[in-house]
Amino acid sequence: DRSNLGLDPRILREEYRVRVRGFLDRLAQECSFHKIDYQLFKTTDPLELALSRYLLRRTRF
Domain extent, residue 22, equals 9-59
The pLDDT assigned to 2 comes to 57
The pLDDT assigned to 3 comes to 66
Average pLDDT of the chain to the nearest whole number: 90
In a domain? residue 20: yes
DSSP code at position 3:
T
Rounded CA separation 44/18 (Å): 22
Burial label for 50, CB within 10 Å (0-12, 13-18, 19+), is: middle
State how many domains the chain has.
1
Contact 39, 57 (CB under 8 A): yes
In a domain? residue 25: yes
Q: What is the mean pLDDT of residues 33-60?
A: 92
Whether residue 27 is predicted with pLDDT greater than 90 in this model: the reply is yes
Within the chain, where are the H helices?
9-33, 47-59
The pTM for the full model equals: 0.71
Amino acid at 16: Y
